[in-house]
Every structure is written in structure tokens, then in C-alpha cells.
């Protein structure tokens, strides 16, 4: 909502109590999750102390082949760095693929930096992001460019042209495998939403895929759709996308975090398996004795149709 209301600009410093506040690095904001004490200090003093993180540059080149998405890129990134490989580091994303990413794609990638213990993930805004910021902020914004002599503790370059749909397996995000290696895993529930994949573009991807394959959801699978914000929800209603999901056998909920956190719609029973577009799959996070797999909206929608983890290419 901060982005929607025009309250985020390149170079801004924002604090919040959510560990995925750093997804606002998608528009070059130094946004950080902190504890309650720091929040109070920020309210009182209007400032806070930070140790400046060292920088690592991650370059993704090539061309993504449909139905591979930014979430697959994010899972690949997490698998490469591991759960603590970016500990307190600033990740600067660059390359042919990142430069073409929409704002929604950039948020997806930036939101997974936390799962590598990174402090923040930055991307220089492209023309599409600049246009969004101008519209929401109400004026031109000045973007930040890396210095010509910028120092990086590491530079990693990847050609991910042949990247396949990926899935993160229980119980840590870096436990990543190809979707086709998990096709024997039957699922009880599918969730599309969260700060990682709860924007309009994520649901539109899933909707277009559903129309393309012309299927309904498996009757043995609970399929839950939760938009990230009220603005997203209204647009999905206006365009008939929410209705199409419900008619296919899904459940469309009020905006929020939903199945990224315990105590919300669709908490799992012991032994149940959830396939989620969220960002974390820690043990017991969504129900004692349950299992959570992470994936893209396209892998999620394909699996909702078949009732098991499915590479979305297999239904096309």
C-alpha cells in the first residue's frame, strides 16, 4: 500500500516490523524490518542507526521462456546463496532479465532477499517503474545509479535462459528442486498471494494460464486466492478474474497476508501439504506437522488443476 499511495521513492529510508519490508528495494528504497523497540525509537526521534551493508552484484542475463517467471528466478537466487549466504549484505540485481522486469517482478525478487539473510535488494528502475512512481508520487523522481567505481565484495553472473519452473521444498526456502522432479507429490491446498506474489500481475498470469488450458481445479484441493491490497482486489473483481477463480472451484478472500502467516485462512492439519506462492516454508509455520512447498503462480495454478505438483509446461 505504501507504493500504491506514492509514499515510496528511490533513496527513501523506511522501517517496519515485517521482515520483508526490504521488498521496497525494488524501487531503490532502503526499507528494513526492525523490532518494536526500534519502531518506537523511530517514532520518537525520526531517525535510527544502521550499519552500512557491503554490496554484492548479482547479474541475470538471457531470456526467460514461458512459463518461467520472476518467482523461479527468485528461487534460483535463494538456492545459489543459501539461507545465510547474503548475511547483512546489500544485493544489487542487474542484467538483461532484471532490466526487463516489471515492478511486480522486481518486488517478487526483492522479497526473497530475506530468505538468504540479506539486508536489502536493489534494482535501478526501468522506464516502466519510473512511470509508475511518477503517477503515484505525483512528480518525476530521481533514480539512483551505482557509482562508476562502486566496490562489490562479490560479483556473480548467471545466464538463466534455460531456467525451468522451480519449487522450494520443506522446510527451508533454499531447498529448491525442479518442478518435474516432484510430480509424485500430491497436494491438499494451493495458495496464491502474499507480498511475494499477491499483485494484480500475479493473478493475471494465473488467470491467463487457466483460460489457456481450459480446466477447473481438482475437487480434492483447496485453492485460495488472496490479493495483497484492496486496490488489487477491486481490479480483480472489475475484470472478472476473481469470479473466474471462484467458478473454477477456488476461494477468493479479503486482502492481507493470509497463508503466509499462522492463524489465517486454510491453516493446515497434520500431514497436509500446501503449495504456496509465499516466501517461507519453515516447519510448523502453517500448522503443526504440515508441509509447505513454494512456487510461482503458474506452477501453483497448474498444480491446483492436477492435484499434485506439476510443471506448468506439461498442461500447455
In the chain the domains, ranked by start, together with CATH numbers, are 13-159 (3.30.499.10), 166-315 (3.30.499.10)
Whether the per-residue pLDDT at 228 is higher than 90: the answer is yes
What pLDDT is attached to residue 253?
92
pLDDT digits (tens, 9 = 90+) for 69-79: 999 999 999 99
- Average pLDDT over every residue of 114-137: 97
**Alpha carbon 125 to its chain's center:** 18
Helix (H, G, I), strand (E, B) or coil at 119: coil
Residue 258's pLDDT band, with cuts at 50, 70 and 90, is confident
CB atoms within 10 A of CB 159: 14
Mean pLDDT score of the chain, rounded to an integer? 95
pLDDT at 134: 97
pLDDT at 137 over 80: yes
Q: Tell me, what's the pLDDT at 262?
A: 67
Give the per-residue pLDDT at 109: 98
- Dump pLDDT digits (tens) for 100-117: 999 999 999 999 999 999
φ, ψ of residue 310 to 5 degrees: the values are -135, 130
Per-residue pLDDT at 263? 61
Helix (H, G, I), strand (E, B) or coil at 70: helix
DSSP labels, 167-210: EEPTT-TT-EEEGGGGTT-B-SEEEEEHHHH-SHHHHHHHHHHH
**122-136: average pLDDT:** 97
pLDDT at 206 over 80: yes
Amino acid at each position: 500500500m505504501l507504493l500504491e499511495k506514492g509514499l515510496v521513492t528511490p533513496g527513501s529510508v523506511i522501517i517496519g516490523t515485517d521482515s520483508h519490508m526490504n521488498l521496497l528495494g525494488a524501487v531503490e528504497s532502503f526499507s528494513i524490518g526492525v523490532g518494536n523497540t526500534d519502531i518506537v525509537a523511530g517514532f520518537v526521534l525520526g531517525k535510527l542507526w544502521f550499519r552500512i551493508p557491503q554490496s554484492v552484484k548479482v547479474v541475470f542475463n538471457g531470456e526467460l521462456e514461458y512459463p518461467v517467471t520472476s518467482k523461479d528466478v527468485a528461487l534460483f537466487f535463494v538456492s545459489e546463496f543459501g539461507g545465510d549466504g547474503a548475511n547483512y549484505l546489500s544485493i544489487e540485481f542487474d542484467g538483461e532479465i532484471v532490466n526487463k522486469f516489471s515492478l511486480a517482478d522486481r518486488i517478487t525478487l526483492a522479497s526473497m532477499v530475506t530468505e538468504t539473510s540479506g539486508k536489502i535488494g536493489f534494482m535501478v528502475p526501468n522506464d516502466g517503474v519510473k512511470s509508475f512512481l511518477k503517477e503515484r508520487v505525483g512528480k518525476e523522481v530521481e533514480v539512483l545509479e551505482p557509482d562508476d567505481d562502486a566496490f562489490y565484495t562479490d560479483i556473480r553472473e548467471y545466464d538463466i535462459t534455460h531456467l525451468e519452473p522451480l519449487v522450494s521444498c520443506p522446510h527451508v526456502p533454499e531447498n529448491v528442486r525442479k518442478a518435474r522432479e516432484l510430480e509424485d507429490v500430491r497436494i491438499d491446498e494451493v495458495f496464491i498471494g502474499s507480498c511475494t506474489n499477491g499483485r494484480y500481475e500475479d493473478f493475471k498470469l494465473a488467470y491467463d494460464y487457466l483460460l489457456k488450458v481450459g480446466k477447473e481445479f481438482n475437487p480434492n484441493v483447496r485453492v485460495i486466492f488472496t490479493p495483497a491490497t484492496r486496490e488489487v482486489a477491486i481490479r480483480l473483481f472489475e475484470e472478472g478474474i476473481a469470479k473466474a477463480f471462484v467458478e473454477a472451484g477456488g476461494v477468493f478472500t479479503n486482502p492481507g497476508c493470509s497463508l503466509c502467516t499462522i492463524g489465517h485462512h486454510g491453516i493446515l492439519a497434520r500431514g497436509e501439504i500446501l503449495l504456496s506462492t509465499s516466501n517461507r516454508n519453515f516447519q510448523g509455520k502453517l500448522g503443526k506437522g504440515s508441509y509447505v512447498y513454494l512456487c510461482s503462480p503458474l506452477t501453483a495454478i497448474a498444480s491446483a488443476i492436477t492435484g499434485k505438483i506439476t510443471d506448468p509446461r506439461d498442461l500447455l
